Amino acid sequence: MAPLLKRSVCWLLKLDFSRQFLSIYHRSKGVFFSTASSPFEDELKAMYEKYLVDHGKSYKTAHEKQRRFEIFKKTLRFINEYNSTTSDPSRKLGITSLADVALEEISNPCVQDPAPWPMGT
């Protein structure tokens, strides 16, 4: 993996933090990351759909899209927890094109989608 990309991945690229995310997070008071359905889950899904469009992403199956959405929510939780520990704006994390990619996929570039290898040759 190229050093610049690796460094970018490690720091999740410092970008502007989403005000929309903060607004949803503060209004939810702990319901935000529950598995139960809530109005905030709908807002998160809308936010994720916008993220997919903004970053030109799409997934072949509903299952894969849902799996990526769960990773996206975990990333948002991490960003919020990290940003709450620093008041320095230059150290704030934000949403990047890697927000729905699992850490295992980033740290091990050989890991790919679980698709079977072609049989034969």
Quick check: is 77 in a domain? yes
Which residue from 26, 67, 62 is spatially nearest to 43, judged by alpha carbons? 26
Domain count, the chain: 1
The number of CA neighbours under 13 Å toward the Cβ of 45 is 9
Quick check: is 3 in a domain? no
pLDDT band at 18 (very low <50, low <70, confident <90, very high): very low
Six token digits for residue 71: 């990773």
pLDDT in tens, 22-42: 555 554 444 444 455 667 888
Q: Whole domain around residue 48: which residue ranges? A: 44-100
Quick check: is 73 in a domain? yes
Q: How far apart are CA 75 and CA 81, in angstroms?
A: 10
1 or 102: which carries more pLDDT confidence?
A: 102
Quick check: is 19 in a domain? no
Quick check: is 60 in a domain? yes
Residue 3, Cβ density class (10 Å: 0-12 exposed, 13-18 middle, ≥19 buried): exposed
Q: How far apart are CA 51 and CA 74, in angstroms?
A: 15
Quick check: is 63 in a domain? yes
